[in-house]
A and B are shown apart, each in its own frame.
Chain A
Amino acid sequence: MFRDNVSPWMYVVALIAGLGAVLPLAWLFLLSLDPTQGGVPGSGASFTLQNYAAVLFESLMGRYFLNAAIVAVLTVLCTLTCACLGAYAASRYRFRGRELAMVGLLVASMTPVIAVLVPLYAYAAKLQMLNTYQVLIVVFTAWQLPGTLWLVRSFLDAIPVELEEAALVDGCTRLGAFMRVILPQLAPGLIAAGLIVFVYVWNEFIIAVSLASKQEMRLISVGLYFYLSDFGIEWGKIAAGAIISILPPAVLFLFLQRQLIHGLSAGAVK
């Protein structure tokens, strides 16, 4: 509608939108540098890094960061492996029940996590798996797998089969053809899919707080929440923790923005 036309009011709208997105976070950043607690941040106080030092060295936030990194990375690997296997079957084989399986996965992906969380908790308690990395990785993988499988399948469908057939005729096994012919073409899609899974797992809270809330097993989002109750309302330190927790997704986004946006839109609307 406006693709061939720019008027000044659009810049005003764009400015407001950009500021609206960034100003609250900029304020959070200022707050994290403010050692005084209270008052409007930046009002005369000096800027220091002591909130960051306190969060990193006097609380378990470093441990929580590590927990989240371990769980997120392993979940990404687990999800991508299962998704590649399943998506390959759905894309390259014709078999009875194929569409049923895909639609079933889609229905599963729409199941609200909160509805299954309490039975899962009871189940994990019975298996003595609460407060472990394993339970988080398994549940996160199951949560992310259906959507990822659909996404990877759409990427696979876009890769022509002819090259692969040629490799098969040349004596490659199916696995060999997948590794040598498909994987290099699939890699950008897998990066996008992995990135989305990483961000979702890194930011997840309610599953993590229900299944692993024991002090040393908390993920970063859970640790941040408990900071309030463990150390009292110290906004400067909470802000520092929040900024630290935003860093990994922000850095990934900065470098892989194009892939991320591509993956997001391919996954939602085909």
Chain B
Amino acid sequence: MGKGAQRLMTMPAARRVAERGPLRKLLEAAQPYLLLAPAAVFVLGITVYPIIQLFYVAFHSTNYFQVGAFNGVANFAPLFSASGAKSFLASAIFVIASDILTLALALFLALVMEAPLRGRGLLRTLIMVPWLVSLVVTALLWQALLDPNFGPIAHLTLSVFGWTVAPLGDETTAMMAMIMANVWRSYPFALVLILAALQSIPSELYEAARLDGASRWAEFRYIALPMAGRTIAVVLILLTFEYFALVTLPFVMTSGGPNEATYVLSLRIWREAFTNYHFGYSAATGVVVFLLNLALSVFYIRHFVLKDAQRVSR
């Protein structure tokens, strides 16, 4: 390497050191904070500030969107009425049933799709399609499919069994229909993640197990399930977050009915504010939903995110 080239390489670095005054040092130290600032502004402004506002409003009387005097826990009273209890129950049923069905379906299909099926790529594309469909379209689609007058499902049951069915008109079947639509739309996401976890299990484990005479069930129970367990747990938590805060599906598909059977907590937040104009009641429900959600996120971060960070740094 010639002398000139050497000087060219070292010079800028040397100049940078020479120019490092106190101001420049400060600027350099501030750089990462400045880079994070836009993200911080968005998150503080659109998440943290409204949460503080939410807690403030929950303990004050309101008139439409005007906030009045402190009124203790009065806003929480409707939550502990019969209607409030129904919302808690509806949310619990919706989240738990959707979780179980989605996970079971995703895990089962992921196991099957691990097999070298012909046309596996096409199958995976087809299965991903419902994930692209918005919740509004999902809700409208299932509403139409289940329509008692012209829906194909009603048509089928009428011509085959002679039954007239109106699933969205009955308390139990409306909830079932909503859960079904929800699972239909969201299990592809779970499937993709679980399939990736299953595929990353080394084949040697299965070969060794087979040499030892393990059954398929034993392979599932002692290899697949433990190895993919962490992913399954993460998927479960992410799905729970999604289902618990879901408003669109009950909003469009059932409007919370019939007889408040699908009036989940998240829909209650919306309705109290924008239909009944009780900002205070809405905020109180919001506080409850936020705190339940926060408990789950703390659990998730402690057991999954921070544990990972430790594992990586070690």
Contacts and interface: CB of A to CB of B under 8 A. Distances in A.
Interface of A: 1-6, 10-11, 13-14, 17-18, 20-22, 24-25, 27-28, 31, 38-40, 81-83, 85-86, 88-90, 93, 95, 98-99, 101, 103-108, 110-123, 125, 138-139, 141-143, 145-146, 149, 169-171, 199, 202-206, 210, 221-222, 224-225, 228, 235, 238-239, 242, 245-246, 249-250, 253, 257, 261, 264-265, 268-270
Contacts, number: 290
A38 B252 contact: no
A5 B192 contact: no
Contact of A101 (B40, B122, B136, B305): B40
Contact of B35 (A88, A119, A142): A88
Nearest to B52: A119
Interface string B134-175: 111100111011010110100100000000000000000000
B150 A105 contact: no
A38 B149 contact: yes
For the complex of A and B, list the 6 residue pairs with the smallest distance between their C-beta atoms, beginning with the closest.
Answer: A142-B46, A203-B134, A112-B245, A89-B35, A171-B12, A93-B32
A38 B115 CA distance: 42
Interface of A is mostly: helix
Given A90-B32, A142-B47, 14 more contacts: A4-B206, A24-B141, A25-B141, A86-B40, A106-B297, A107-B297, A112-B290, A115-B269, A143-B46, A203-B135, A225-B136, A242-B141, A246-B133, A268-B238
Given A138-B46, A171-B12, A2 B293 contact: no
B54 interface: yes
Interface stretch (B68-76, B80-88, B92-100, B106-114): B106-114
A221 B134 contact: yes
B235 interface: yes
Nearest to B209: A1
14 contacts: A2-B111, A3-B203, A38-B150, A39-B150, A40-B152, A89-B31, A112-B289, A115-B289, A116-B46, A118-B54, A169-B12, A210-B270, A210-B274, A245-B134
A106 B305 contact: yes
Q: Could you tell me the dominant secondary structure of chain B's interface residues?
A: helix
**Which bucket holds chain B's interface residue count?**
35 or more
Contacts of B287: 115
A235 B114 contact: no
Given A101-B36, A257-B125, A114 B193 contact: no
Nearest to A101: B36
B89 interface: no
A212 to B, nearest CB: 13
B101 interface: no
Contact of A142 (B43, B129, B220, B247): B43
Given A89-B36, A265-B192, A253 B51 contact: no
Contacts of A222: 136
Given A1-B220, A40-B155, A86 B141 contact: no
A265 B290 CA distance: 26
A142 B42 contact: yes
B283 interface: yes
Interface in B202-221: 203, 206, 216, 219-220
Contacts of A11: 117
A14 B117 contact: yes
Given A18-B126, A205-B134, A205-B248, A145 B42 contact: yes
